[in-house]
Amino acid sequence: MRYFLIIVLISLILGCSDESSSLIDNATAPTISDQSAMAVRNLDKSQIERGAAIYAANCIACHGQNGEATPDWRKAGADGKYPPPPLNGTAHTWHHSTEVLKKTILKGTPPELGSMPAWEDKLTEQQVDDVIVWIISLWPDEIYDVWYKNFEHVD
């Protein structure tokens, strides 16, 4: 519950800026609500381990050891580009479907917004999937629940 309140407070204070590298319309971004039945995580432990190793070898320099990134990720640099955002549930990564996350990793960010390179010639799709599962494993339960219900679970 403590994480939930912190995330809500951070979201209210910071919100996703229209200038950020968000790939979805902020009006359609998921919101945290009081839902009685939390989504159960059923993440493959071996996939999380593989994803952690791939992340450590390829992503850690920009996104931080535990996906924490840099404190000023919302401020554009002198070149007008934004630094890498956190991936640990404290930024907008959970506002995106698995499909969008995968596309961003494979194709990189638009050059006018950020400096993330395309990884499509360096990582296999399975490796990208493994990294995404590792990233998702970092998210607090409340964030995972909202993400899952908005993007991954279709009734």
Q: Is the pLDDT of residue 10 over 50?
A: no
Q: Is the pLDDT of residue 154 over 60?
A: no
∠ CA 87-8-51, nearest 5°, is 20
pLDDT value of position 21: 33
Instruction: Name the residue ranges covered by the structural domains of the chain.
Output: 2-152
The string of pLDDT tens digits covering residues 68-123 is: 998 899 999 999 999 999 999 999 899 999 999 999 999 999 888 889 999 999 99
Q: Which residues pair with 114 in a beta bridge?
A: 82
∠ CA 26-66-6, nearest 5°, is 50
Of 48, 96, 89, 50, give the one whose Cα is nearest residue 69.
89
Q: Which two tokens stand for residue 24?
A: 């979805």
d(CA 83, CA 103): 18
pLDDT value of position 112: 84
d(CA 117, CA 106): 8
CATH code reported for the domain at 2-152: 1.10.760.10
**What's the predicted TM-score (pTM) here?**
0.74
The string of pLDDT tens digits covering residues 30-67 is: 444 455 588 888 899 999 999 999 999 999 999 999 99
pLDDT value of position 98: 94
